[in-house]
Amino acid sequence: MTALVRIVEVGARDGLQNEAATVTTETKVELIDRLAGVGITEIEATSFVSPRWIPQMADHDAVMRGLTRRDNVRYPVLVPNLRGYTAAVAAGARDVAVFASASESFSRKNINCSVDESFERFAPVLDAAKRDGVAVRGYVSCVVACPYEGPIAPEATARVARRLYDQGCFEVSLGDTIGAGTPLTVTRMLARVLEHVPVAKVAGHYHDTYGMAAANAYASFEQGVRIFDSSVGGLGGCPYAKGATGNVATEDLVYMLHGIGAETGVDLERLVDIALWISTQLGREVQSRVGRALLARRAS
Ligand code: HMG
Ligand code: MG
């Protein structure tokens, strides 16, 4: 039987949040609308965080109001606290994501509180979301390594993943924030997480700093994971994880998945058009290997 994989496109949020130059709201909205047109059904649109912390996402309201909603597409947004949740829902969000960390140091740098405190902030978000019928995803950052603490024990990641799931998150996305993981460390980490969270509720969110993200996605696929986050053109990075690059490029992920017989519903050639378009908008070349290869083949 063909494996169906759900792709969560995070380029408009994770991909753009680290861009130094302001990307216009029109460009962000066009990116989201274009992505919705190539078969991607989940597009993380923006984040309702403090504009002092992440200036690039300051236009979150305008992005949510500007995009053209399609019935079959979900547009989740990041919220760090109840204030962000309230603003997100007022702007039309029906899907949100809270974000925790397996590492104390990263939690403090990224959201200015301890891991325990972050869960205290999430509790009212989950309560309100339940009342409002809004779906809440939970992220765990630094699932195998932290930019400040180094390697992270699989138990620490499993504990935070379990806590998010128990608190009411419908799914837990495992973030290799600095892209330091390998199939071995990711497999070990996943084995622990899967003792606590059903595999159908687990997503892989792998950054590609060391070029391992597609390999880590494949290792996770082998363990039964069928949800992956990725960023068109490989855009991105986290401002609080210096030196970390973007997520696995959506086109690299899709090529790999189609190549092993999985279905994603994504039109790879048209996705590469978007990678080229957004890279041009940002004044750079397409970063992904698959994007470059397919563009070179077209040119030859
Ligand atoms: P804080 O300074 O501790 O919070 O920041 P505070 O409650 O003391 O408020 C400080 C200021 O922020 C106040 O404004 C608040 O009103 C305002 P001021 O009075 O100083 O002008 N504020 C807000 N403004 C807008 N929206 C809000 C909000 N809440 C408070 N929701 C806070 C705490 C969480 C707000 C801050 O640390 C923050 O915004 N951090 C966001 C960091 C972030 O977005 N990082 C990137 C996303 S995570 C990621 O990329 C990892 C992931 O991809 C997975 C992976 O790869 O690992 C998901
Ligand atoms: Mg990320």
CATH of the domain at 289: 3.20.20.70
For the chain, give the percent of residues with pLDDT over 70.
99
pLDDT band at 238; cut points 50, 70, 90: low
Give φ, ψ of 248 to 5 degrees.
-55, 135
> Which of 40-49, 242-251, 258-267, 285-294 is predicted least confidently?
242-251
**Pocket probe mutation, ligand 1, options 9, 14, 48, 49, max atoms within 8 Å of Cβ:** 49
**Which residue is it, tokens 């086109």?**
251
Q: Which residue's CA lies nearest to atom 53 of ligand 1? A: 14
- Residue 288 domain flag: yes
Rounded Cα distance, 288 and 201, in Å:
28
Pocket of ligand 1 (CB under 6 A): 14, 17, 47-50, 53-54, 78, 80-81, 83-84, 99, 110-112, 139, 141, 175, 177, 205, 207, 238, 240
- Residue 1 domain flag: no
- Residue 78 domain flag: yes
Is 113 labeled as catalytic in the residue annotation? no
Q: If you measure from the C-alpha of residue 175 to the centroid of ligand 2, how many angstroms do you get, rounded to a whole number?
A: 6
Ligand 1 atom closest to 121 (CA) = 34
Residue range 70-98: mean pLDDT, rounded? 98
- Residue 126 domain flag: yes
pLDDT at 236: 83
- Residue 14 domain flag: yes
pLDDT band at 1; cut points 50, 70, 90: confident
Given a cut of 70, is residue 197 above it in pLDDT? Answer: yes
- Residue 235 domain flag: yes
Range of the domain at 26: 6-299
- Residue 188 domain flag: yes
Given a cut of 80, is residue 189 above it in pLDDT? Answer: yes
Give φ, ψ of 221 to 5 degrees.
-60, -45
User: How many domains is the chain built from?
Assistant: 1
Q: Which residues, at least 6 apart from 148, have a Cβ–Cβ distance to it below 8 Å?
A: 103, 105, 106, 109
pTM over 0.75: yes
Is there a contact between 3 and 262 (Cβ–Cβ < 8 Å)?
Answer: yes
pLDDT at 244: 76
Given a cut of 80, is residue 121 above it in pLDDT? Answer: yes
pLDDT at 87: 98
